[in-house]
Amino acid sequence: MWARIERHAEAVRGDLGPHPVAVVLGTGWSALAELLGPVRGRRGVGDLDGFPRPSLDGHTGELVSVDLDGVPTLVVAGRCHLYEGRDATEVVHAVRVAVLAGARTVVLTNAAGSLWPDLAVGAPVLISDHLNLTGTSPLVGPAARGCDDRFVDLGDLYSARLRSAARTTLGSIAEGVYAGVLGPQFETPAEIRALATLGADLVGMSTVLEAIAAAHLGAEVAGVSLVTNPAAGLTDRIDHDRVLETAGRSLDRLVPVVRALAHAAVLP
Ligand code: HPA
């Protein structure tokens, strides 16, 4: 597994050059890459043998190199999810490739349901912490890259340094705890009440495994959710198409947040 990740990282670095920052996009958000800055280059992952590609929406995976205000940023479009039948190592493959290709900071973006009325639909929210409720971890399995480095400290998983710098740039921005679930069904109202009791503010089906994998490789992690709907029980009905439509419509609200985090990432 690690040999393949290293091979893919070498190919990406060879074709697109080094990138101190990687940004992982939510499903169907490839338009965000162009909103972040001029595109320096693109690379499909189709020729990278064993690079997992999303099964949804006919999307192929793509890595886009963007000049984000002078910061070379590797944008990962075409995320894979557990609910597609992928295992945890496949879900985090692209993040591992990005980090081994040189990214020291990984910014994870996602669409999420909101558990509270003050986290309004369309709002970007900085992830302050997570609950990994997927029942799995990318660090399960045969140890690689040394055997004792899998007991990773997650005490500051969503970097307080990056969040604080982003808050300074952006003024006020909401923060919340993201509950990562398996999906693909949306939650029941009882599950949402239980998640609220557990301390969750947001719920979604991605991000938590990628955050763990990035931290395991020593990268600094940031996460941003875009609220696409009130969670189950707080709205009449959750409709996947409307979730996608809302995400597309509010995508530009993520741009200043990702930009602030990328700037903070390269601060000395
Ligand atoms: N639940 C789970 N995942 C989601 C939701 C939700 O309400 N909205 C967007 N992704």
Ligand 1 geometric centre to CA of 201 (Å): 12
State if residue 208 touches ligand 1 by the CB under 6 angstroms criterion: no
Ligand 1 geometric centre to CA of 156 (Å): 24
pTM for the structure as a whole:
0.96
Specify the pLDDT at position 58.
47
Distances (CA, A) of 227 to 5, 12, 34, 86, 224: 32, 32, 21, 25, 10
Q: Give the CATH number, domain containing residue 182.
A: 3.40.50.1580
- The lowest-confidence range among 22-36, 37-51, 131-145 is 131-145
pLDDT digits (tens, 9 = 90+) for 80-125: 999 999 999 999 999 999 999 999 999 999 999 999 999 999 999 9
Q: Which residue segment(s) compose the domain that 218 sits in? A: 2-265
Specify the pLDDT at position 56.
63
Specify the pLDDT at position 59.
58
Kindly report the average pLDDT of the chain as a whole number: 93
pLDDT digits (tens, 9 = 90+) for 237-253: 999 898 888 988 899 99
Structurally, the chain folds into a number of domains equal to 1
State if residue 228 touches ligand 1 by the CB under 6 angstroms criterion: yes
Atom 9 in ligand 1: residue holding the nearest Cα: 112
Ligand 1 geometric centre to CA of 113 (Å): 4
Q: What is the DSSP letter of 122?
A: T
First to last CA, the chain: 33
